[in-house]
Amino acid sequence: MKLAFYAPMKSPDHPVPSGDRRMGRLLWTALEQTGFAMELASDLRSFDGKGDAEFQRLKKAEGAEEAARLIEKWRSRPEEAPDGWFTYHLYHKAPDWIGPAVCRALQIPYFVAEASHAPKRASGNWQMGYEAAAEAISSARVVFHMTALDGACLKPLVSPENRLVLLPPFLDIERFREKAISVNIVDALVTAGGRQDAKTLLAVAMMRGGDKMMSYQQLGQALSLVTETGWQLLVIGDGERRREVEAALAPIGDRVIYLGVMTPEELPAWYEFADIYTWPAHGEAYGMAFLEAEGFGLPVVAGNIRGVPDVVRNGETGILTAEGDAPAFARAVDELLQNDALRLSMGRRARTFVETERTLSAAADILKKAIEGAM
């Protein structure tokens, strides 16, 4: 059985790494693991971050041309045509202008994963994309939602003959560990000005504007209120907003250690070295780094926002605090710094959670059952 795969937000072969690209690749791998033959249908990116109506019209026209090309291609060579179409991450800023048209023409089922629907976008700068995304979602045989919040918002669009299926965020933790390389932690810490004997908080995030910058600002504010002593914050990441991040974290002084950008192969060593993963997660859909950290036994302190509760179990694998509540965030960090038994037990539960419930094989089972049931 063959599936055409498309990601209007960012193609899995896009050159710029991101959590979005990573999840697209993970979904592709999970679908392959189920036995589906995969084909990347198109790399056309429909993302409009500015709300430009003219840009949206252009992308709609390009999508129509691409759909016509694919329909002609597969009608002329039906033995190469897919049995279904799978679109990852469509919403008002990145609608799917291709898949629904192809599916109607070839009479094949349409599947979507990590779609989102925000009624407040029904009018305004993204109205065209909102309407297109809503129409596409409504036509999907199966809508895979990755968070409880998305599921509640998508439910009104899913007709009784179609299905809404929870596909929780997942990680190929085994491969992540297998690809890990040895890192000289001591030398790296000394070079960066850190300490080997300090309790260590860790944050992994690129330094860019928007939600990431807001999280850095909230992190600096919250950690400045921590009462415990003898700790340090390691920051992995870099970007064009480096100076602004440094200003945001200035309230915690020389406790912050900047390690720069690292490859995925280098990250495991730092997850294993750290004691607590801390990130406010302002505006995060859910956050892949939370699963990575938990997979290496790190308890998490994060904001109780959007999809974060779907990847961090409050009171079990970490502590979630109210959005923007710096004193509560600081108290949670203090609690884990002070209580070794609690910190270690949460870390063990975090590791078990990822290893048993958020694996590639678990996701593949959900995908296989739902897709084959709808074919």
In a shared domain, residues 115 and 125? yes
Structure tokens at 227: 């009462």
- pLDDT at 228 (0 to 100): 95
- Residues 1, 375 contacting (CB under 8 angstroms): yes
d(CA 321, CA 331): 9
In a shared domain, residues 352 and 363? no
d(CA 188, CA 192): 6
Containing domain of residue 369, as a range? Answer: 2-170+359-374
Q: CA dihedral in degrees (264, 267, 268, 273; nearest 10)? A: 180
Structure tokens at 88: 């990852």
- Residues 207, 238 contacting (CB under 8 angstroms): yes
In this structure, the strands spanning 199-204 and 256-260 are unpaired
- pLDDT at 182 (0 to 100): 92
- pLDDT at 16 (0 to 100): 83
Alpha-carbon distances, residue 108 vs 36, 111, 156, 196 (angstroms): 15, 10, 23, 57
Q: Which CATH number do you get for residue 98?
A: 3.40.50.2000
In a shared domain, residues 347 and 365? no
d(CA 124, CA 186): 53
d(CA 330, CA 217): 14
Helix (H, G, I), strand (E, B) or coil at 24: helix
Q: Please state the φ and ψ torsions of residue 321, each to the nearest 5 degrees.
A: -120, 160
Would you give the end-to-end CA distance of the chain in angstroms? 10
- pLDDT at 265 (0 to 100): 95
d(CA 136, CA 197): 54
In a shared domain, residues 180 and 305? yes
In a shared domain, residues 105 and 22? yes
In a shared domain, residues 368 and 352? no
Q: Residue 228's CB: how many other CB atoms inside 10 A?
A: 13
In a shared domain, residues 260 and 365? no
- pLDDT at 158 (0 to 100): 95
Count of domains forming the chain: 2
In a shared domain, residues 146 and 249? no
In a shared domain, residues 209 and 324? yes
Identify any residues that bridge with 163 across adjacent strands, giving them in sequence order: 142
- pLDDT at 26 (0 to 100): 96
In a shared domain, residues 29 and 140? yes
Helix (H, G, I), strand (E, B) or coil at 318: strand
Residues of the chain with pLDDT under 70: none
Which run of H or of E encompasses 231?
strand 231-236
Spatial neighbors of 294 by CB under 8 A, at least 6 apart, are 277, 300, 311, 312, 317, 318, 350, 351, 353, 354
In a shared domain, residues 290 and 343? yes
3-state secondary structure 247-292: HHCHHHHHHEEEEECCCCCCHHHHHHHCCEEEECCCCCCCCHHHHH
Alpha-carbon distances, residue 372 vs 140, 155, 368 (angstroms): 14, 21, 6
The sign of the dihedral angle between the CA atoms of 29, 30, 33, 38 is negative
d(CA 34, CA 371): 10
In a shared domain, residues 209 and 312? yes
